[in-house]
Amino acid sequence: MNTKASHPPRVLSCIQPTGDLHLGNYLGALRNWVNGQHGCDAFHGVVDLHALTVTEQPGVVGDATLRTAAMLFAVGLDPEVATVFAQSHVPEHSQLAWVMQCQISFGELSRMTQFKDKSAKREGSFVSAGLFTYPTLQAADILLYDTNEVPVGDDQRQHIEITRDAAIRFNHRFGDTLVIPEAVTPAAGARVMSLQDPTSKMSKSDESGAGCIYLVDESAAIMKKFKRAVTDSETGPDSVRFDRENKPGVSNLLEINAAVTGRTPQQVAEGLDMYGKLKVETGEAVVAAIEPIRERYNELMGDPGELARLLRVGAEKARHVASATVERVHDAIGMVPA
């Protein structure tokens, strides 16, 4: 087949369900997904099979998958426009993953830096084969949908390269069958740092939770966290200014405020001369942005039937594409038709 897809550019972005999503996820990525869904053929997967590499307790993955899916719809992904699905609802992911595992060498997997990093952190504890072969399932995720573009940061580019290599190798062996995806730099999102350690990214692994604004946080909790945000000891009329290097805490608050109000950090700083006022104004701006998201999320979590329906719709749309790809792959290899 011609590996140049005939449909509008298909863009795949996936998220692993490993905990509640936070303000950094929203301003850094999810908002871009929502804004971009009308300009492409958007596929968004909640990759619950990948989450099995870090989960050992029953029920955890399923619960996290539902919460993550509900939040994707709550932030504004439209099921009539974008295809939003749970990975495990599309069995073709696992089918194609085995084929990809047979196209990628042991040596290639051994060189993956993420496996080295994650396995090193678990030294002395259980390291699953799934963590090692993770890139083969990720390759299947991408190739299954004839994906043209995959928005990724620098830490994921190696995964796209191994996917491209596997697809090129398959096409060389069995004829042009798979679309070769391109890694693209996502639209710049806001840089959101921890409220308690503004030199580190906001993260759901924050043990105390004080430095992280979760999208499910109540308004009072959000305001409390912002009022306790770390700044610095400078005083004076020019103390509220944007200077990432020398004033990381203040600059983080200015950037967050700017991101949710559509201004620049410098514009936010104008007229502010006290850190207390900056904290309150930023907290109020974030509350205004998050409140409707949290309300929609709570509606969906309170209506499991509707959430299940939305995921079924997404799975049906995804399987329509995925089943055709697997059939094409099996035909190219020459496997016996079912």
The catalytic residue positions are 118, 201, 204
Q: Which two tokens stand for residue 162?
A: 């191994």
Is 153 marked as binding a ligand? yes
201 labelled binding-site residue? yes
Q: Is 36 one of the annotated binding-site residues?
A: no
Ligand-binding site membership of 186 (annotated) = no
CA dist., res. 110 & res. 274, Å (int): 53
Q: Is 249 annotated as a binding residue?
A: no
- Give, in degrees to the nearest 5, the angle at Cα 75 between 74 and 77: 85
Strand spans (E) along the chain: 10-15, 41-46, 83-86, 149-151, 182-184
Q: How far apart are CA 154 and CA 70, in angstroms?
A: 28
Q: What is the rounded CA–CA span in Å between residue 70 and residue 89?
A: 16
The response to whether 205 counts as a known ligand-binding position is yes
The response to whether 16 counts as a known ligand-binding position is yes
Q: Which of 63, 20, 87, 70 lies closest to 307 in space, CA to CA? A: 70
User: For residue 108, what are the CA distances in angstroms to 96, 105, 162, 229?
Assistant: 18, 5, 8, 44
DSSP 37: G
The reply to whether 150 sits in an annotated binding site is no
**Amino acid occupying residue 143:** L
Q: Tokens 């004033």 correspond to what residue?
A: 247
Instruction: Tell me the C-alpha distance between 111 and 134, whole Å.
Output: 13
Q: How far apart are the first and last CA of the chain?
A: 22
Q: How many residues does the chain have?
A: 338
Does 177 carry a binding-site annotation?
no
Binding site annotation covers 155? yes
- How many of the other CB atoms lie within 10 Å of CB of 65? 21
Residue 274, annotated as binding a ligand: no
35 is in an annotated binding site: no
Of 213, 258, 104, nearest in space to 168 by CA: 104
User: Is 41 labelled as part of a ligand binding site?
Assistant: no
Backbone angles phi, psi at 85, to 5 degrees: -145, 160
Annotated binding site for ATP: 16-18, 24-25, 153-155, 192, 201-205
Annotated binding site: 16-18, 24-25, 141, 153-155, 192, 201-205
Annotated binding site for L-tryptophan: 141
